[in-house]
Structure 1
Amino acid sequence: MPADFSLSPLIAATAQWLVRAYPPCGGALDSALAEAQARQAVTVAAWLRYPTAMDAALVAVAGPGGAGRLDGLTGADAAGSGDEDAEAWRTWVDEVVASWAAALLGAPELASAATDALTGSAHTAGAPVEFRRLLDPDERDRRAAALLRHPDLLAPVAELHRDQLLHRLAAGPVPLTG
């Protein structure tokens, strides 16, 4: 099983949490653009955090931890719809991945270093991977995700695990082994 496949629920849930915590500023198109940016940042963060298929398999078995602490930090509505089954996705939110993604969204130089660290990794081998909306957002992307990319608003989440991200990036490229 490819590592990115088993990370799909974690990536989807964590991106969803970011978009709900830092909602887009406009209509449906802005929502889609903000979600695309969040998903790209979360994908990069997840691939850095779980560089091998074994890492991805372990988090799939153990679970990523959920959104509880993040909700408390941002004041996000943890209650949601009140329907426990409808909110089950929240258990798949990974706090470290959300923190790293927030750091990437708020600091373009970190986003560039993070994607560079993935070059040639097991996650990027085989198929072309593009992170344009993360690395080079156009004006429409920036407007759509004004809250999602605001460094001051992201700071409480980004600072949670920024040191770990910086340590991971200083370690060099992600291993090619899968």
Structure 2
Amino acid sequence: MLTDLSPLIAATARWLTVAYPPSGGALASALCEAQARQAVTVAAWLRYPTDIDAGLVAMAGPGGASRLDWVAGADPAGDEPAEEWAWRSWVDEVVASWAAGLLADPGLAARAVDALAEGEHACGTPAEFRRLLDPGDGDRRAAALLRHPDLLASVAALHGDQLLDRLGPGRALAA
């Protein structure tokens, strides 16, 4: 059974960077993608904490981007021909929602990264999420739309309560 979440992570990060594009040129695009990928990786590892969970989502499929497009007001067609949309079927709505919440709220992102120690994915592999947790000025400029709390609110709200539940009562956000 395939237990690799990389297709889901790549597709969901791509959806985020298409829906909330970078501000600037090639470097900004790379910085924005790195931040999206780190947020999506954290969200995916929290959502599917075991190899069995990852295997099940690989078999069943994550669901696709249709509802996310509607909620975010994103253009699903973009500049791509229809035959190049296959990646969109690997977008996970819950993971995208959780990643949006992490990108919009640095405190929540720190709590989520701390919670990764409880899952199987982080065991034995040091993971660094600096661009998510402590973005520099260049990171912030490149991902101005991707990190804008008001723009992300509708996507983050879709499954934000589930993320808080996953983080547990001891890690819930202060009111």
Does the pair score TM above 0.5?
Answer: yes
Counterparts of 1:57-136 in structure 2, within 5 Å, are 57-81=55-79, 83-119=81-117, 121-136=119-134
**Please, which runs of 5 or more residues in structure 1 have no aligned partner?**
174-178
Counterparts of 1:1-178 in structure 2, within 5 Å, are 3=3, 6-81=4-79, 83-119=81-117, 121-170=119-168
TM-score by length of 1: 0.91
- Shift of residue 171, structure 1, vs aligned partner: 6.0
Count of matched residue positions in the alignment of Structure 1 and Structure 2:
171
Q: Which contiguous aligned blocks of 4+ residues in structure 1 show a shift greater than 2 angstroms?
A: 80-85
Work out whether residues 81 and 87 of structure 1, in 8 Å CA contact, stay in contact via their aligned partners in 2: no
Instruction: Tell me: CA distance 1:2–1:132, structure 2 relative to 1, closer, same or farther (3 Å).
Output: farther
For residue 144 of structure 1, what is the amino acid of its counterpart?
A
**Identity level (%):** 70
TM-score by length of 2: 0.93
Task: Give the SS at the match of 2:83.
Answer: coil
Q: Residues 81-118 of structure 1, C-alpha deviation per residue, up to 9 Å, x if partnerless?
A: 45232110000000000000000000001000000001
Higher helix share: 2
Task: Give the SS at the match of 1:155.
Answer: helix
**Please, which runs of 5 or more residues in structure 2 have no aligned partner?**
none
Q: Residues 46-82 of structure 1, C-alpha deviation per residue, up to 9 Å, x if partnerless?
A: 0000000010000001000000001011121112345
